[in-house]
C-alpha cells in the first residue's frame, strides 16, 4: 500500500514538473543589455516602448496596414484577415519577433533579444536623439547593443570576438590605426578574470587590426564584455564618452560630468554575486 502511494506521488510530481524555459539568455543571441535599479518590469516596458518606436521609424511598422488589407480582401474580409494576422503573430517563435525579453537570472540586468542584424543602428539613433532631449528615461540606465553572446569560456569568447569584429568592420568604416579600449563587468561567475578577458580581446583586435592602439581616455571604439552568470555578452561601442557610457538616464536627463573610461575594474563584483537568482 505504501509503495503504491509512493509511486503515485512520484508520478504526480513528474507530471507537474514545469517545462524548461526557452526564453533564457544563451549563446548565439543579439540584442540589448540593460541595467536598472530594482524596477525591472518598468524598465522592460520602457525599453520595449523605445525600441519599438525607433524600429518603426527606421525599418517600418510591423502592424497590418488596414487600407492595404481592405484593398486586397474587400470590406467584409477585413476583420477576418486582421484576426488571422494577429493569431499568426502570436504563434511566431521567439527568433521571429523583433524584440523579446529573455531571463538573465541576474537582478537589475535585462536582456532583450532582437531579430535585427545590427542592434547598434537603433541604439546610436536613440542616444543621438537623447542628447537633444528627444528621448526620456525613468527606469532604463545603461542601454548597450549586444552583437553576440557565448558561453563563458576563453576559447568561446575569443571566437565570438573575432566574429563580431569581422562583422562590425564590414558594416562600419574603421581606420586601421583606430584607438580602442576594453571594459568588462563580471556578475555571478569566476571562470574568467580581468587578465584573461583583456588578453583574449586584445588578441582578437590585433589579429584584425594590428595597427590599432589602446587609449583609455579618448577611444574611437570601446569593446564591452558583460558576463551574466554563464553567458558572455559582447558590445562594440562608438562615442562612449559622448554618450555618457551609454547611460540613457544620464544623457536624457541632462546629467553632466560622466567619468572617463580609465577607472578601476574588478574581476568579480561581490554585490552582483549576491543578487543572482537561483538556477
pLDDT at residue 50 in the model: 98
Q: How far is CA 208 from the centre of its chain?
A: 24
Determine the Cα–Cα distance for residues 27 and 19; give it in Å rounded to an integer. 20
- Whether the CB-CB separation of 191 and 267 falls below 8 Å is answered with no
Question: pLDDT truncated to tens, each residue of the chain (279 aa)?
Answer: 556 555 555 555 555 454 455 589 999 999 999 999 989 999 999 999 999 999 999 999 975 444 444 454 455 454 555 455 445 445 555 446 899 999 999 999 999 999 999 999 999 999 999 999 999 999 999 999 999 999 999 999 999 999 999 999 999 989 899 999 999 999 999 999 999 999 999 999 999 999 999 999 999 999 999 999 999 999 999 999 999 999 999 999 886 544 444 443 433 343 343 345 544
Name the pTM for this structure. Answer: 0.77
DSSP per-residue string spanning 77-142: GHHHHHHHHHHHHHT--GGGSSEEEEB-SBTTEEEEEES-S-HHHHHHHHHHHHHTT-S--SS--B
Q: What is the CATH number of domain 23-61+81-274?
A: 3.30.2130.30
Determine the Cα–Cα distance for residues 279 and 260; give it in Å rounded to an integer. 36
Determine the Cα–Cα distance for residues 255 and 238; give it in Å rounded to an integer. 19
Nearest to 267 by CA among 216, 180, 198, 164: 198
- Whether the CB-CB separation of 120 and 221 falls below 8 Å is answered with no
Amino acid at each position: 500500500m505504501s509503495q503504491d502511494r509512493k509511486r503515485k506521488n512520484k508520478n504526480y510530481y513528474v507530471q507537474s514538473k514545469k517545462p524548461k524555459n526557452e526564453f533564457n539568455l544563451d549563446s548565439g543571441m543579439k540584442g540589448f543589455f540593460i541595467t536598472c535599479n530594482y524596477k525591472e518590469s518598468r524598465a522592460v516596458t520602457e525599453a520595449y516602448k523605445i525600441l519599438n518606436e525607433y524600429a518603426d521609424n527606421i525599418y517600418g511598422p510591423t502592424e497590418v496596414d488596414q487600407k492595404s488589407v481592405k484593398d486586397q480582401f474587400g470590406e467584409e474580409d477585413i476583420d477576418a484577415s486582421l484576426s488571422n494576422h494577429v493569431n499568426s503573430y502570436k504563434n511566431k517563435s521567439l527568433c521571429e519577433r523583433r524584440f523579446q525579453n529573455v531571463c538573465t537570472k541576474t537582478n537589475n540586468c535585462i536582456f532583450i533579444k532582437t531579430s535585427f542584424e545590427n542592434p547598434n543602428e537603433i541604439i546610436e539613433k536613440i542616444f543621438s536623439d537623447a542628447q537633444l532631449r528627444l528621448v526620456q528615461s525613468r527606469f532604463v540606465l545603461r542601454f548597450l547593443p549586444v552583437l553576440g553572446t557565448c558561453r563563458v569560456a576563453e576559447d568561446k569568447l575569443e571566437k565570438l570576438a573575432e566574429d563580431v569584429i569581422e562583422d562590425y568592420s564590414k558594416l562600419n568604416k574603421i581606420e586601421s590605426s583606430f584607438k580602442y579600449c576594453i571594459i568588462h563587468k563580471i556578475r555571478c561567475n569566476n571562470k574568467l578574470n580581468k587578465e584573461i578577458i583583456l588578453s583574449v580581446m586584445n588578441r582578437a583586435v590585433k589579429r584584425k587590426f594590428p595597427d590599432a592602439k589602446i587609449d583609455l581616455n579618448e577611444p574611437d571604439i570601446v569593446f564591452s564584455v558583460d558576463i551574466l552568470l554563464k553567458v558572455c555578452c559582447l558590445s562594440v561601442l562608438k562615442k562612449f564618452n559622448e554618450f555618457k557610457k551609454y547611460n540613457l538616464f544620464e544623457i536624457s536627463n541632462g546629467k553632466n560630468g560622466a567619468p572617463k573610461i580609465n577607472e578601476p575594474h574588478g574581476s568579480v563584483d561581490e554585490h552582483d554575486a549576491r543578487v543572482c537568482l537561483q538556477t
